Structure formats: structure tokens, C-alpha cells
Structure 1
Amino acid sequence: MGIESLFVMLLVGAVAGWIAGKLVSGSGFGLLGNMAVGILGALIASFLLPRLGFGFGGGVPSAILHSTIGAVILLIVIRLIKRA
């Protein structure tokens, strides 16, 4: 993996985590927290969405959408676990 790929992955993770934070709990988690949530969200979405028959194509906007969906799922699960 080149340095450009790593930079894009971190940027997509930060944007996706920030969007998911705004959608689910109303605030972001700081730069590193947003990156972590976005990257974990991308992993969740890459596992879950193809099994449900969803595909978004390629490119950065698609990666942000993909990661945001996974990050929202992650944040909802975390919220449910905290309530229990």
C-alpha cells in the first residue's frame, strides 16, 4: 500500500466517521475517533453489504458512502450495548 492509499483511507475514514457521528449521536469524536469509527465502519460495511446484495461501485464518494453506512451501524450497535 502506497502512502497515497493510506492518506485516502484515513481521509475517507475521518469524513465517514464525522458524518456518522452527526447522524447518530449528534457530534463528532475528534479526528482520531472519527478515523477509527470510519475505518471500522468500512470493514463492517464491506462484510455486511455484499451479503445483502448492495454494491456502490468505486471511487472516493462511493467509499465515503460505504464507510458511513458501516459507521452508522457500528454506532447504533455501540449505543444499544451501552443501554443494556
Structure 2
Amino acid sequence: MNFIWYILIGIVSGFLAGKIMRGGGFGILVNLIVGIIGGVLGGWVFGLLGIVTGGILGSLITSVIGAVLLLWILSFFRKPHNAEL
């Protein structure tokens, strides 16, 4: 049952991260996948920093921060839309 919660929290955090990163989102489907991966990334980063969160709200905050971080990293690999020479 915990696995389902991780997926649901990841989906919500991906959606929120897409809204936070104005112009940094990649579309609803990719943002949802990024949210799931961002939850893992956020947990890893928080673990390195010694930050411990608890409950659903703590997991959501961790996932949103991880997803925003992942969207920021992915934005470096995105081609600009209106590149002028």
C-alpha cells in the first residue's frame, strides 16, 4: 500500500513542480513522471543533508523539491524555442 502512496505523492508533486517552474515544465505526462523520479531524488538529497521529514506532508514537500530540482536539471538539455543566430 505504501508504494501506491509514493506514486500518488509523486504525481501530485510533479504537477506542482511543473506549476512552480514556469516555462520549465515539459507537459503533464512528463511532469508526472518527473514527480515520481523527483520523490526519489528529493529523498536522496534530504538524506545527504540530514533532513528527516515525516508524514504525507513531509513526503510531498520532499517530492516537490526533488521534482523542481530535476526539472531545473532537465531544462539545461531542452532546446530553446526561438533561438536566433
Tell me the TM-score range normalised by the shorter chain. Answer: 0.7 to 0.9
In the superposition, relative to structure 1, how do residues 6 and 53 fare at CA in structure 2: closer, same or farther (>3 Å)?
closer
Equivalent of residue 5 in structure 2, options 8, 22, 34: 8
- Give the CA RMSD over aligned residues: 2.2
Structure 1: gaps (5+ residues)? none
* Identical counterparts, % of pairs: 32
Matched residue, 1:24 = 21
Quote the Cα distance in structure 1 between the aligned partners of 2:12 and 2:36.
Answer: 10
Q: 2:3 and 2:50 mapped to 1: Cα distance?
A: 28
Give the one of 65, 75, 82 matched to 2:78: 82
Number of residue pairs aligned between Structure 1 and Structure 2: 79
Which structure would you say has the larger Rg?
2
Asked if the contact 1:42–1:70 (Cα under 8 Å) also holds between the matched residues in 2, the reply is yes
- Return the alpha-carbon distance in structure 1 between the equivalents of residues 51 and 3 of structure 2: 25
Matches of 2:2 and 2:10, distance apart in 1? 12
If each structure's helix is expressed as a fraction of its own residues, which one has the higher value? 1
Q: Could you tell me how far 1:45 is from its partner in structure 2?
A: 1.2
TM-score (norm. length: structure 2): 0.75
Residue in structure 2 matched with residue 35 of structure 1 by the alignment = 32
| TM-score, length of structure 1 as denominator length | 0.76
Deviation of 1:28 after TM superposition, in Å, equals 7.4
Question: What residue is the counterpart of 1:72 in the other structure?
Answer: 68
